[in-house]
């Protein structure tokens, strides 16, 4: 049974009633307030305060402040007059009816507020949606205008180009007709000249023979070909190494493996390492890594001096998770890519990255880092290489810092 609060205080003016209810040390969060025009309840267990007001008040303008151990209510009066008492004197039955009526009004008020809030939220969402749709429509219209403008510009440029081509073709046709006409006139003039000079043919022939140049001397002409120059600054030039690399490339193209005779069942195309390399490249692009390995392997049997065959087969082995084979092929490619010159720099970088990737997948991060650093030295501005090298270095440092994770 709740304890009724009787130590409240109240004051009034002609227009307002001020009421103070002590909260007796109760937390604000535990105070339950119900207010209508004729009824006011303040409940904070185990205490209860009820006021059956002497006259109706304006509940919409009423205010309540809860804090510092007291609840203060400001209740504007419906009529400007002084009350004789704060509460009316009534029996329990009438009090019960007032409570039920107040509770019903309070529930209706909460329901109306909830409905109003829901309508307001719906209106706000609708407005936001309409605004967004309007912005999207404006954006689409703007894009469409740009497209139409570009289309009109392109159409105008195409029409101008076609007109120019037509005019150019007409000019060329007129030029051809003019040349043909000039040629015809010259031939006609020459024929007329021959006819006019027919009586003096012997004298003319003798005069022409006297004006003939002397026979050319017989001899050998020395031809010196321009040497191939690499695009390298003179102070950084490595001409001997570059010449050695060119010679090795030429030798590799001329080389024919001794096992070619064992492959008599191959057709002419399949005996060509370049054709087999292109076939392997196409298989790799389509995801047929085993087919690519077979093509590269057959090309290597025909010619073991082409580094690209080993490097590309290493890439296939990486895809197939044949990591040790990938390391072997990458190493073989790097052995053939010597001496290191600008012409084979990109190929050396690829081979280093492929071998480094295989090492890292085998968790041999120190060896992998060495290869990635070698590739980065060749291509220092490659952002992907920089990021991969940093990631491997972080893994090595993290493993060293946490030996228990090994």
For residue range 40-75, what is the model confidence (pLDDT) as tens digits? 888 888 888 888 888 888 888 889 988 888 889 999
pLDDT given for residue 83 in this prediction: 87
The dihedral of CA 133, 138, 143, 144: what is its sign? positive
What is d(CA 349, CA 323) in angstroms, rounded to the nearest whole number?
A: 18
Lowest mean pLDDT among 148-162, 261-275, 356-370: 261-275
In terms of Cβ atoms closer than 10 Å to its own Cβ (0-12, 13-18, 19+), residue 110 is exposed
Q: What is the bridge-based pairing of β-strands 63-67 and 70-76?
A: antiparallel
What would the mean pLDDT of 387-406 be, rounded to a whole number? 73
The region of weakest confidence among 29-33, 297-301, 392-396 is 29-33
Q: Which pLDDT band holds residue 30 (cuts at 50, 70, 90)?
A: confident
Q: Quick one: tokens of 173? A: 């046709």
Instruction: Give residue 156's pLDDT band: very low, low, confident or very high (50, 70, 90).
Output: very high
Domain boundaries, the chain: 3-89, 248-405
Cα dihedral sign, 130-131-133-137 = positive
Q: Is residue 135 predicted with pLDDT exceeding 50?
A: yes
Determine the distance from the C-alpha atom of residue 385 to the mean position of all C-alpha atoms in its chain, rounded to a whole number. 19
In this predicted structure, the answer to whether residue 14 has a pLDDT above a threshold of 90 is no
Residue 264 has pLDDT above 80, yes or no: no
Q: Name the pairing type of β-strands 32-35 and 39-44.
A: antiparallel
Please report, rounded to a whole number, the percentage of residues in the chain having pLDDT higher than 70: 81
- What pLDDT does 395 receive? 92
Question: Which residue from 316, 312, 352 is spatially nearest to 334, judged by alpha carbons?
Answer: 352
- Per-residue pLDDT, 405: 36
Confidence (pLDDT) at 180? 73
Is the pLDDT at 124 greater than 80? The verdict is: yes
DSSP secondary structure string for all residues of 225-245: PPPP--S--GGG--HHHHHHH
d(CA 279, CA 157): 43
Question: Mean per-residue pLDDT for 142-166?
Answer: 91
| 385-405 mean pLDDT | 77
Domain 3-89 annotated CATH 2.60.40.790 = yes
User: Which of the residue ranges 311-320, 339-348, 395-404 would you say has the lowest mean pLDDT?
Assistant: 395-404
pLDDT of residue 207: 55
What is the CATH class of 248-405?
mainly alpha
Q: Return d(Cα 67, Cα 71) in angstroms, integer.
A: 6
Element (H, E) at 189: helix 92-196
The mean pLDDT of the chain is 82
First-last CA distance in the chain: 69
pLDDT over 70 at 195, yes or no = no
Q: Tell me: pLDDT of 310 over 50.
A: yes
Structure tokens at 38: 């004729």
- Please confirm whether the linkage preceding 46 is cis (ω < 30° from 0): yes
């Amino acid at each position: 049974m709740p304890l009724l609060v009787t130590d409240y205080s109240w004051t009034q003016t002609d227009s307002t009633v001020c009421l103070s209810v002590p909260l007796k040390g109760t937390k604000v969060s535990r105070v339950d307030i119900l207010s209508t025009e004729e009824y006011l309840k303040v409940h904070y267990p185990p205490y209860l305060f009820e006021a059956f007001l002497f006259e109706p008040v304006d509940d919409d303008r009423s205010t309540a402040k809860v804090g510092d151990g007291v609840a203060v209510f400001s209740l504007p009066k419906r009529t400007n007059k002084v009350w004789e008492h704060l509460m009316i004197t009534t029996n329990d039955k009438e009090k019960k009816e007032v409570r039920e009526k107040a509770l019903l009004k309070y529930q209706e008020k909460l329901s109306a507020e909830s409905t109003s809030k829901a309508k307001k939220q719906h209106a706000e969402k609708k407005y936001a949606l309409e605004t967004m749709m309007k912005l999207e429509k404006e954006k689409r219209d703007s894009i469409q205008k740009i497209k139409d403008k570009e289309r009109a510009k392109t159409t105008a440029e195409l029409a101008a180009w076609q007109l120019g081509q037509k005019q150019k073709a007409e000019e060329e046709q007129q030029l051809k007709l003019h040349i043909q006409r000039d040629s015809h006139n010259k031939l006609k003039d020459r024929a007329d000249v021959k006819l006019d000079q027919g009586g003096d043919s012997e004298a003319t022939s003798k005069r022409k023979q006297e004006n003939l140049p002397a026979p050319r001397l017989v001899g050998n002409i020395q031809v010196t070909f321009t040497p191939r120059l690499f695009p390298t600054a003179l102070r950084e030039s490595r001409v001997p190494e570059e010449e050695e690399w060119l010679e090795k490339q030429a030798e590799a193209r001329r080389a024919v493996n001794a096992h070619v005779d064992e492959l008599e069942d191959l057709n002419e195309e399949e005996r060509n390492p370049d054709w087999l390399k292109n076939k392997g490249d196409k298989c790799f692009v389509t995801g047929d890594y085993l087919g690519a390995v077979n093509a590269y392997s057959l090309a290597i049997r025909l010619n073991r001096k082409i580094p690209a065959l080993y490097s590309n087969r290493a890439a296939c082995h990486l895809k197939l998770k044949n990591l040790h084979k990938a390391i072997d092929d990458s190493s073989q490619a790097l052995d053939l890519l010597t001496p290191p010159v600008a012409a084979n720099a990109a190929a050396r970088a690829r081979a280093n990255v492929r071998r480094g990737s295989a090492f890292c997948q085998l968790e041999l991060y120190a060896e992998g880092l060495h290869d990635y650093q070698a590739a980065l030295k060749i291509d220092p501005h490659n952002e992907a290489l920089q990021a991969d090298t940093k990631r491997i270095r972080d893994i090595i440092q993290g493993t060293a810092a946490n030996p228990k994770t090994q």
